Each structure stands twice: as C-alpha cells, then as structure tokens.
Amino acid sequence: MLNDWVVAPTCLPLVRRRCHACAADRFRASGKFRVNANHKLLDVWLLVLCTACGDTAKLTVLERTHVRSVRPELLDRLHDNDLGLTAELLQDPVVQRRNRIALDWRGAWRLDTGGSDHLDHEVIDVSVRFAARIPVRPVRLIAEGCGLSRAEVERLVEEGKVVSAVRLGGRLSGDFTFTLKR
C-alpha cells in the first residue's frame, strides 16, 4: 500500500538578503504591496521587514509595466495585500533572481504523514508530495516520518534498504517516492 506524505508550509519563509541599515541577512515578508502608478506605467514592490532592526526593504515585482498588460484580478490581489499572492511571488524564480534573494525555510514547514500506522510494516512504499518548493533533505524527511535518526536512515540507504529513483543525498523540492525495507 502506498502512503502519501505531504511537505506543507506552515508560514511564509524568511527572505535572505543583506539589510542596508544594520547588515543583518534575514527579512520577513510583511504581506503588503506598494503599487505606484506613473501615468500608464506601474511599479509594484513587495515590502519586507528586517528581522533585526525592522527597516523596510522593497522587492521588485513589476517594473515600468503598462497598466493594460496587468490582469485585473492580479491588480485586485495586489491592492488587497493578498497573503496567497505574497507566498506565490516569494517562490517565483523570476522575482528571486531579479531581487537577488533566497528563501530560508527553517521552521516554516511540516511533514504530514497521515498517521503512524505504517511504521510497523516490513516494507513501506511512500509518495512524498511538496505543497510548495521547499528544499529539504530526503534523509531528514524519511527520518522524521519513520521515527528514525538521520544516521540510521543514511545507514539504511547505504545498505540498499531505502530505495528511490532520485538521489537521496542532497536537497529536493520536488515530489519523489521511496521504498523502505526493514
């Protein structure tokens, strides 16, 4: 029987970027947008707050964009300071690259395994689905989901008792499956 695990965000991740005021390197998203219109051109920024000094920084979302090229529902979400849109834009690779930021997901996600009834089976087939692009080590997920230590999971991988089509050594942010044989 295939068990479904879900890696889901619990809150917005921190934004890794250097603060110009205090040289800290973590910001938290305020969930607020600043929309500025200059005739028919729009500039849109996502406001983030430094975790150390509270100073505000702006992450560019749209720059000198003609107002007619912005979908009306997107403009409504920007004006409403939609938290869902904040989460979407923080994970957008274009926004990350444009603003030279990275996301810090520590403490901002959880693993839902659907219960612990799978732990006493001899062979466990698991499908891990990511609700957001959260980079996590598969060994950590397996250890947390099965109630094992990471060292024990790494030993099981070396012995061939944990098998997956993806490499379990690095970080993943995409769906994968694995089989654990005890």
Question: Do β-strands 14-16 and 26-38 pair in parallel, antiparallel, or remain unpaired?
Answer: antiparallel
Q: Give me the tens of pLDDT residue by residue for the chain, a chain 182 residues long.
A: 788 999 999 999 999 999 999 989 999 999 999 999 999 999 999 999 999 999 999 999 999 999 999 999 999 999 999 999 999 999 999 999 999 999 999 999 999 998 766 666 788 899 999 999 999 999 999 999 988 999 999 999 999 999 999 998 889 999 999 999 87
What's the gap between Cα 66 and its chain centre?
30
What's the gap between Cα 101 and its chain centre?
13
Exposed/middle/buried for residue 80 (C-beta within 10 Å: 0-12, 13-18, 19+): exposed
> pTM (2 decimals)?
0.81
Instruction: Report the distance separating Cα 54 and Cα 58, nearest Å.
Output: 13
Instruction: Report the distance separating Cα 92 and Cα 87, nearest Å.
Output: 9
